[in-house]
């Protein structure tokens, strides 16, 4: 821990969450505020996790066609955000790709090659147009049996935004909130600083690449994998992403940053550029392999301190 900050950690959603506040305020008060944050994140996990049988998402995933499930406000809010980005990206970000992912894995989670018939069957159960969200009644309906929702690409970011709202209720204005190792949201900068220093652009293939930014009233999120993004599914092709190493998104909302970093793994570079032009509060950084080297393309505004 730095002498200039207090760190509070908690594990949820199979990831470490962290609240960092500048030293100077009352430590016990900051601990209590962080405890309130972590309690809320635990509640969000209970609603959004597809691994918990009692969760809202599990209820949705067991629905028959045209059957409704009553869900909580966190589930409605997260699904609405996912639906918004689904529309903005023309379906490139889709939380219903579960049926496709299932066919690309054996029961022991080792990779397999699905048949064309299997992919066609899975794709018939993919698409957020197969979900109906009734916000007024707090309920969700599936239009076809076998639709499967997975909020892993947006849920941590949503939890980080909720954490920020709680800190503001506690009148803690300066903080950095980390959701796992992939998403960070900055409130006010620490005293005397331009922002919270965070790294961006480093990959397993090129850990020294990228640089750092002074994060201030914005969220940064990254997506990628050792297997060149193969845990991320392209809804257009029905296949795992293979042409990118990693992607990062910078925007005001942690929910959108989390989802956009996944979407930018899927979207062609021209589509990413068009998105950042249409929505100038979003910036993208994409790493890909070319001629045996890891290269990067930036879209939007990146005020890199170094790199």
Tokens of residue 14, six digits: 């199979």
The whole model's pTM is what?
0.94
Tally Cβ neighbours within 10 Å of residue 58: 17
- As given in the structure block, the two tokens for residue 49 are 């996790």
**Per-residue pLDDT tens over the stretch 158-171:** 999 999 999 999 99
CA 178 to chain centre: 12
What's the token pair of residue 220?
Answer: 């940064």
Is residue 88 within a helix (H) or strand (E), and if so which, with residue range? helix 73-88
Give the per-residue pLDDT at 228.
39
Q: Each residue of 64-109: pLDDT tens digit?
A: 999 999 999 999 999 999 999 999 999 999 999 989 988 888 777 7
The tokens describing 22, both together, are 């500048």
Asked whether the CA dihedral 226, 228, 229, 230 is positive or negative, the reply is negative
Place of tokens 């949705």: 60
The predicted pLDDT at position 219 comes to: 98
What is the per-residue pLDDT for 305? 84
Distance CA 170, CA 167 (A): 5
Phi, psi of 201 (to 5 degrees): 100, -10
| Percentage of the chain exceeding pLDDT 70 | 96
Contacts of 45 (CB under 8 A, 6+ apart): 12, 13, 52, 155, 159
pLDDT of residue 307: 58
* Residue 225: pLDDT band with limits 50, 70, 90: low
pLDDT tier at 229, thresholds 50, 70, 90: very low
pLDDT digits (tens, 9 = 90+) for 98-135: 899 888 887 777 888 899 999 999 999 999 999 999 99
pLDDT of residue 243: 86
Q: Are 255 and 220 in contact (CB under 8 A)?
A: no
Assess whether pLDDT exceeds 90 at residue 294.
no
Q: For residues 36 and 30, what is the distance between their CA atoms, to the nearest angstrom?
A: 10
Residues 228, 245 contacting (CB under 8 angstroms): yes
Q: How far apart are CA 56 and CA 75, in angstroms?
A: 7
Q: What is the pLDDT of residue 2?
A: 46
CA angle 177, 183, 184 (to 5 degrees): 35
Whether 259 shows a pLDDT value over 60: the answer reads yes
Higher pLDDT, 210 or 189: 189
- Asked if residue 1 has pLDDT above 70, the reply is no
Are 81 and 156 a contacting pair, CB within 8 Å?
Answer: no
Query: What are residue 131's DSSP bridge partners?
Result: 142
Q: Please tell me the distance from the alpha carbon of residue 75 to that of residue 48, in angstroms, as a whole number.
A: 6
Confidence at residue 140, expressed as pLDDT on a 0 to 100 scale: 98
Instruction: List the structure tokens of 20.
Output: 């960092």
Give me the sign of the Cα torsion angle 222, 225, 230, 231.
negative
Q: According to the model, what pLDDT value does residue 210 have? A: 79
In this structure, of 120-134, 230-244, 265-279, the range with the lowest mean pLDDT score is 230-244
8 Å CB contact between 219 and 157: yes
Q: What mean pLDDT, rounded, does the chain reach?
A: 92
pLDDT given at position 122: 93
């Amino acid at each position: 821990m730095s002498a200039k900050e207090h760190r509070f950690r908690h594990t949820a959603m199979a990831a470490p969450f962290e609240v960092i506040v500048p030293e100077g305020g009352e430590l016990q008060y900051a601990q209590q505020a962080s405890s309130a944050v972590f309690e809320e994140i635990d509640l969000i996990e209970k609603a959004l996790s597809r691994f918990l049988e009692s969760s809202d998402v599990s209820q949705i995933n067991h629905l028959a066609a045209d059957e409704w499930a009553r869900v909580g406000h966190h589930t409605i809010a997260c699904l609405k955000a996912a639906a918004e980005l689904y529309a903005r990206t023309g379906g490139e970000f889709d939380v219903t790709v579960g049926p496709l992912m299932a066919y690309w894995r054996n029961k022991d989670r080792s990779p397999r090659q699905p048949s064309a018939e299997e992919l066609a069957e899975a794709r018939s159960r993919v698409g957020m147009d197969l979900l109906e969200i009734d916000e007024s009644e707090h309920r969700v309906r599936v239009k076809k049996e076998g639709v499967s929702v997975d909020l892993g690409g947006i849920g941590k970011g949503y939890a980080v935004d909720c954490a920020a709202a709680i800190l503001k209720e506690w009148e803690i204005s300066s903080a950095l909130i980390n959701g796992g190792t992939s998403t960070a949201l900055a409130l006010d900068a620490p005293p005397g600083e331009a922002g919270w220093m965070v790294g961006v652009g480093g990959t397993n293939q090129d850990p020294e690449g990228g640089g750092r930014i002074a994060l201030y009233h914005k969220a940064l999120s990254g997506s990628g994998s050792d297997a060149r993004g193969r845990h991320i599914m392209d809804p257009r092709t029905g296949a795992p992403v293979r042409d990118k190493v990693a992607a990062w998104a910078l925007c005001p909302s942690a929910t959108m940053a989390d989802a956009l970093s996944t979407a930018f793994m899927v979207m062609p570079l021209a589509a990413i550029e068009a998105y950042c032009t249409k929505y100038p509060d979003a910036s993208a950084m994409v790493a890909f392999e070319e001629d045996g080297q890891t290269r990067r393309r930036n879209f939007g505004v990146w005020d890199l301190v170094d790199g």
